[in-house]
Amino acid sequence: MINEPQIINEALSETHEQLAAADRPSEDGLLEIDISGLPAGELVKWLEDMVLIREFEEALEPLTLSGKIPGSVHQASGQEAVAVGVVRALRPGDIVASPHRPHHHALAKGLTPRAVMAELWGRATGCAGGRGGTMHLIDFSLGYFGSNGIVGAALGIAMGAALAAKLRQNGQVCVGFFGDGGANTGRTWEFVNFATVEKLPLIVVCENNQYAVETWIRREMVGGTIAERAIGFGLPASQVDGQDIAAVYAATVEARERAAAGGGPTFIEAVTYRYRGHNTGEVINYRTEDEVEHWRATRDPVERLRSSLERLGQLRPGQFEEIVAGASAVVQDSIEFSESSPVPDPATAGDRVLVTPFDEKGLA
């Protein structure tokens, strides 16, 4: 019952210097992906989802640096295939919970760019009414059980939601995302162990983008891959190429089937890469530009799906540019919507702490 982990990403065993010196792939350099197993009629929509995420993320840095979005945010440019590949393998009633780098998950799960953008702006029209910001996005009606400011915590919420799904026998499958950094916090493994013991309908997805802030995973983790670590907990675990939407989708479909059939949780380590800094405004001095370029040139998840679709004639010439222009317009609209949206009423700032009504005199 234990899967052999597949080490598909050689970059993990190389140093930064080796990587930088590595031969560049030929021609356009892009590693091909095999999309023959994917639902053909839907793939343009998947590409649109990924492009929308990319456009959304790429718009954020100036907005945070100018202060229009209070504070900084964590962008997921480069990680689109993980979000879209996972969510597209789910059913609508399924549940997703995200860590602090969540916009790609939220948008993939169906939150509108307006609802997410306005939340980042702290506006009343945001998905949490401006109370949450980037690390507390929410839409329970879409099965989006929140982004979370605490490393490792989102997996716990997804695990608990999966316990409820099991007890209620309602067929829901829950996904908890976390990062490579989250693979080094103890609670993550408490959750994995408990979910495995209880055979919960949970999919544990580690987005290994190889850095926790500036800390390279190879410097803070010994004893093999994150997936290999997971195997010790007795659940099926594998490492997939997170820049290959077909691989992510296939792994998630299999995990979902297992979960729905009562077979318990599955652990997926998706090896991915973030193009931007840990947060907007970060000065990146812990990796080389070469390394980033290598990932972009050989494994960009949007380009890989695009080129496959073009090769198969499923994307006509010029269509990709139209998709980008469309996504860009939608993001622009979300910015204008946020800018013109009201701020929340300060008189409400202390509301809803408890359902039980109380004031300084006690029970109100």
Ligand X SMILES: Cc1ncc(C[n+]2csc(CCOP(=O)(O)OP(=O)(O)O)c2C)c(N)n1
3-state helix, strand, coil in the chain (%, to 5): 45, 10, 40
Q: How far is the CB of 203 from ligand X (least distance, A)?
A: 17
Q: How far is the CB of 75 from ligand X (least distance, A)?
A: 10
| Residues 207-246 interacting with Mg ion (rule: CB under 5 A) | 209, 211-212
| 153 is a site residue for other proteins (CB under 8 A) | yes
Q: Cβ closer to other proteins: 167 or 284? A: 167
**Phi and psi dihedrals of 267, rounded to 5?**
-110, 125
Q: How far is the CB of 267 from other proteins (least distance, A)?
A: 15
**Per-residue contact flags (x/-) with Mg ion for residues 192 to 211, judged by CB under 5 A:** -----------------x-x
Does residue 117 sit in helix, strand or coil?
helix
Round to the nearest angstrom and report the end-to-end CA distance of the chain: 56
CB burial of residue 110 (10 Å; 0-12, 13-18, 19+): middle
Contact between 137 and 127 under an 8 Å Cβ cutoff? The reply is yes
| 320 is a site residue for ligand X (CB under 6 A) | no
Instruction: With both helix axes pointing from N to C terminus, report the angle between 113-120 and 319-340 in degrees, rounded to the nearest 10.
Output: 50
> Which member of 78, 85, 146, 265 binds other proteins (CB under 8 A)?
146
Tell me the pairing of strands 362-363 and 358-359.
antiparallel
Tokens of 260: 């729905």
> Which member of 132, 143, 176, 179 binds Mg ion (CB under 5 A)?
179
Sign of CA dihedral 130, 135, 141, 145: negative
Tokens of 202: 């949970």
Q: How many CA atoms lie within 13 A of 332 on its CB side?
A: 6
Residue 218: which of ligand X, Mg ion, other proteins, none does it interact with, CB under 5 to 8 A by kind? none
Determine the interface stretch with other proteins among 18-26, 156-164, 208-216, 260-268 (rule: CB under 8 A): 156-164
| 242 is a site residue for ligand X (CB under 6 A) | no
Instruction: Please name every residue paired with 147 in a beta bridge, in sequence order, or none if there are none.
Output: 98
| Residues 19-78 interacting with ligand X (rule: CB under 6 A) | 74
Q: How far is the CB of 192 from Mg ion (least distance, A)?
A: 18
Residues of this chain that interact with other proteins (CB under 8 A) are 95, 97, 128-129, 131-132, 136, 138, 140, 145-146, 148-150, 153, 156-165, 167-168, 172, 174, 186-187, 190-191, 193-194, 197-198, 352-356, 358, 360-363
Residues of this chain that interact with ligand X (CB under 6 A) are 74, 100-101, 149-151, 178-182, 209, 211-213, 278
